[in-house]
Structure 1
Amino acid sequence: MKIGKTQAFIAAFTLSLFSLIPAQANSLVATSPISGSTTSTAPTSVAVTAQIALLEEGNEITVVDPAGNRVDDGTITVDQMSVSVGLRALVDAGIYKVSYILLTDGEDPLEGSFTFNFTSPNVIEPAPQPSPTQSAQSASSSWGTNVFVIALLVLAFLVLVGLSLYARKLFKNR
């Protein structure tokens, strides 16, 4: 059986198209907190999102504080392509390391780690309460402002009435 040039070209073209289709390998898409970020609000969980749907069991995420102690609560939740773990209250400022092993059906495990920086929030001192003399002063100063604003509004109204009467007179004489 002889293969013509056209058939050979079509076969070669079809094979080259299949070689252009990228292999679907699992890779990391997103992390929460964002890898390398600095946050002053303690996160309550850490999440890692992959490119391919994850298996329900066998995934691992561990979070350690700057001293090397685990701060994750071990409760791992898988939601299709995302896996998360709850955190205990973060009290130490510093760099936290998140390590993960993600499993998918028919793929090699996706292993890796990332860090985020937690800066414990500064202690905010309450604002001083105003004394009674301060509120009395502000009430008297706002009274003068109120009178001024009301006077401006009355003046603006009188100008508006005057302009409307003048415009009426102009259009009436035409």
Structure 2
Amino acid sequence: MADGLPSERFEPEVHDASEFTCGVNVMDAWLRDNAADAARRRTSTTWVWADDSRVVAYYSLSGHKVARGEVPRDIGRGGPQEIPAVLIGKLALDQSRQGQGLGGLLLADALTRFLAATQIVAARLVVVDALDDDVARYYEHYGFDRVPGSLRLVRRVSSIEADFGGTLPGL
């Protein structure tokens, strides 16, 4: 929750995404054109912050896996060949809310949902595929480790739990 806005599962018949603009066209279009279909196909679930019904932020989460050899050695060490993970596929804040310190709160919201999911279905990592180096640096600021030579970033469940003091924050 941020700015008085609890996150809710995206429902296109309830949430108006028509005016959502984060400054990256592909992110805006994905919310409007693909989020509902991805939910129907069970390939990702999108969560939104809505002001009344207008979407002002969103993120999507999907089940994922990464090969142990494709992550930094200290992160993959001791894991299976294919490490269970959750992918933050999208994370965007409307331009009307940018510059207010809400991006970190949106990421914390996504990580809270991720931690809750790992209480039901095991996952060892959260994964992000950044759009560019600026986005990668954003995630690095929040403790994600970049896979060398790529825009993929990963973070262990245990380090995220430590950020939240070892307790699962309320949803």
TM over 0.5, shorter chain: no
TM-score (norm 2): 0.20
Q: Quick check: which has more Rg, 1 or 2?
A: 1
